[in-house]
Amino acid sequence: MKRYVIVGNGVAASACIEGIRNVDPDGAVTVISAENRPAYCRPLISYYLEGRADPAKIGYRAPDFYEKTGCRVLYGQTAEAIDPAAKTVSLSDGAVLPYDAVCVAAGSSPFVPPFAGLETVREKYSFMTMDDALQLEKATETPKDVLIVGAGLIGLKCAEGLYGRARSITVCDLADRVLSSILDADGAKAVQAHLEQKGLRFLLGDTVDRFDGNTAQMKNGEIVRFDVLVLAVGVRANTALVKNAGGACGRGITVNEKMETSLPDVFAAGDCAEGEDVSFGARRVLALMPNACFQGYTAGVNMAGGEKKLTDAIPMNAIGFFGLHIMTAGTYTGDVYEEKTALGSKKFFTADGVLKGFILIGETQRAGLYTALIRNRTPLEGVDFALIRKTATSAAFSKETRAKMFGEVV
Ligand SMILES: Cc1cc2nc3c(=O)[nH]c(=O)nc-3n(C[C@H](O)[C@H](O)[C@H](O)COP(=O)(O)OP(=O)(O)OC[C@H]3O[C@@H](n4cnc5c(N)ncnc54)[C@H](O)[C@@H]3O)c2cc1C
């Protein structure tokens, strides 16, 4: 019987279990879970804070998932080291697990810059885990002034979660715009205006110079008083297990299309891995749920001796803030086409005759057609691009393109 070990218990790990079971119904699967709970949908932690998500219902899979898939989960344990020669994983409790194939699906950790005086701040939090959300819930039992450092996805999701609980929310970021990693300047402006309407205050192009207890002195001189500080500056891929074992790593653990690392029988998937982004044409960490799911499943199939390659990974985000829907995908290079819509705007980026990326703000229906164009690198000569920019409809595809994309008979 083959022995599988999965380090981490998030989306990538769950998908890895499914990939393994699709090929090998009998092998022994052990999951090492640093968090003391079954895999859950991390994006839902802000909904929990808002009171919109029942903690019992944020599980990524049904409560009997591990039982049904026949996995053993070691909760509250961390993997400390992988020995690729002995093919073992050492755990925090001193146990040593032998494996035939191991998948590192360890996600990422919050990055905390060395701010001067940070040690003087008593109430400071990250916003990555359900435990973080529970702590923030407690910290804001009575209305508090909140300072969030970081106007990226996690910082803004935290702001949305705390809205209604906090007396005031100020968000600062060194970047000159919100969501700088996924929006261009116009899109960021629209989203910022929407958030400001709700009462959020932004200090952009600025960050904290030093903390002193409950005050932050900004680089531009402004003093911001707060009760609760959230640090959402960014995340770093958890690469140490593979790096320390001698495996290749960039910003994430280097993986090929089968999610193999440079170490034999060691795979990696999800936020800790760095695979090919086909819209960018280079390796990148794509720290997103769909990617964690595709990568985890691919790793699982290959670990169990099946054959699967992930050849169409692209960055894509589907998020919303206070009812404003945003969807983005791909890279923003080449020629730009913009359509204004009743609810916002759609922006498309094309180069070399294919769609490279898009930013949809407000109207995001059927955006899967756009992502399919990017993933498949569909030549736009077979597409009525003027039509599809306005309405995501398969009627915009030529017969040949429809046949290629949907298998229709021409
Ligand atoms: C607030 C928030 C909002 C988000 N919103 C979106 C969104 O709208 N859309 C989207 O696509 N993505 C979103 N994301 C990102 C998304 O949640 C991640 O891409 C996804 O969860 C990654 O899954 P993963 O399985 O790779 O890692 P994780 O879900 O991070 O799971 C990794 C697990 O491994 C554990 N671990 C780490 N090291 C060890 C070790 N040595 N031993 C044992 N266990 C270990 C960690 O504790 C963690 O539980 C959001 C993330 C956050 C925090």
What is the pLDDT at residue 408? 57
Nearest CA to ligand 1 atom 3: 43
> Which atom of ligand 1 lies closest to the CA of 240?
41
Which of 231, 249, 272 is the last residue in one of the domains? 231
Residue whose tokens read 């170490």: 263
Share of the chain above pLDDT 90, in %: 86
What is the pLDDT at residue 345? 92
User: Is residue 309 a part of any domain in this protein?
Assistant: no
pLDDT exceeds 60 at position 381 = yes
User: Span 156-163, mean pLDDT?
Assistant: 96
Long-range contacts of 141-146 (CB under 8 A, 24+ apart): 143/167, 144/226, 144/227, 144/228, 145/170, 145/225, 145/226, 145/227, 145/228, 146/170, 146/226, 146/227, 146/228, 146/229, 146/230
80 by Cβ neighbours in 10 Å (0-12 / 13-18 / 19+) ranks as: middle
User: Span 55-75, mean pLDDT?
Assistant: 94
pLDDT exceeds 60 at position 409 = no
What is the pLDDT at residue 280? 83
Q: How would DSSP label each residue in 60-83?
A: SS-TTHHHHTTEEEEET--EEEEE
SS3 174: coil
Q: Which domain holds residue 147?
A: 118-231
User: Is residue 225 a part of any domain in this protein?
Assistant: yes
CB 314 within 8 A of CB 278: yes
Query: What tokens does 186 get?
Result: 């116009």
Instruction: Name the average pLDDT for the chain.
Output: 94
Nearest CA to ligand 1 atom 6: 43
| Residue 200 falls in which region: left (phi positive, over 0), alpha (psi -120 to 50) or beta | beta
What is the pLDDT at residue 410? 45
Torsion of Cα atoms, 93 then 302 then 238 then 34, to 10° = -30
Cα→Cα distances 252→106, 180, 246, 275, 287, Å: 11, 20, 14, 8, 10
Nearest CA to ligand 1 atom 53: 128
Does 299 share its domain with 376? no
Share of the chain above pLDDT 70, in %: 99
What is the pLDDT at residue 404? 73
User: Span 373-386, mean pLDDT?
Assistant: 91
DSSP at 181: T
User: Is residue 341 a part of any domain in this protein?
Assistant: yes
Does 152 share its domain with 245? no
User: Is residue 156 a part of any domain in this protein?
Assistant: yes
User: Span 117-134, mean pLDDT?
Assistant: 96
State pLDDT tens for residues 37-50: 999 999 999 999 99
pLDDT exceeds 50 at position 8 = yes
Separation of CA 166 and ligand 1 centre (Å): 25
Does 48 share its domain with 88? yes
Residue whose tokens read 């589907």: 318
Total domain count, the chain: 3
Separation of CA 342 and ligand 1 centre (Å): 34
Instruction: Enumerate residues lining ligand 1, CB below 6 A.
Output: 7-13, 32-35, 42-43, 45-46, 78-79, 105-107, 127-128, 153-154, 157, 238, 270-271, 287-290, 292, 317, 319
CB 235 within 8 A of CB 154: yes
Residue whose tokens read 């494996």: 99
Does 94 share its domain with 124? no
User: Span 119-142, mean pLDDT?
Assistant: 96
Separation of CA 335 and ligand 1 centre (Å): 34
221 C-beta neighbours (distance < 10 Å), count: 8
Cα→Cα distances 236→112, 174, 341, Å: 10, 18, 36
Cα→Cα distances 173→152, 205, 206, 398, Å: 8, 6, 6, 45
What is the pLDDT at residue 396? 86
What is the pLDDT at residue 407? 65
User: Is residue 316 a part of any domain in this protein?
Assistant: no
Separation of CA 287 and ligand 1 centre (Å): 8
Which of 182, 202, 231 is the last residue in one of the domains? 231
CATH classification at residue 190: 3.50.50.60
User: Is residue 133 a part of any domain in this protein?
Assistant: yes
Mutate to test the pocket of ligand 1, among 47, 126, 153 (most ligand atoms within 8 A of CB): 153
pLDDT exceeds 80 at position 194 = yes
State pLDDT tens for residues 246-303: 999 999 999 999 999 999 999 999 999 999 998 888 899 999 999 999 999 999 999 9
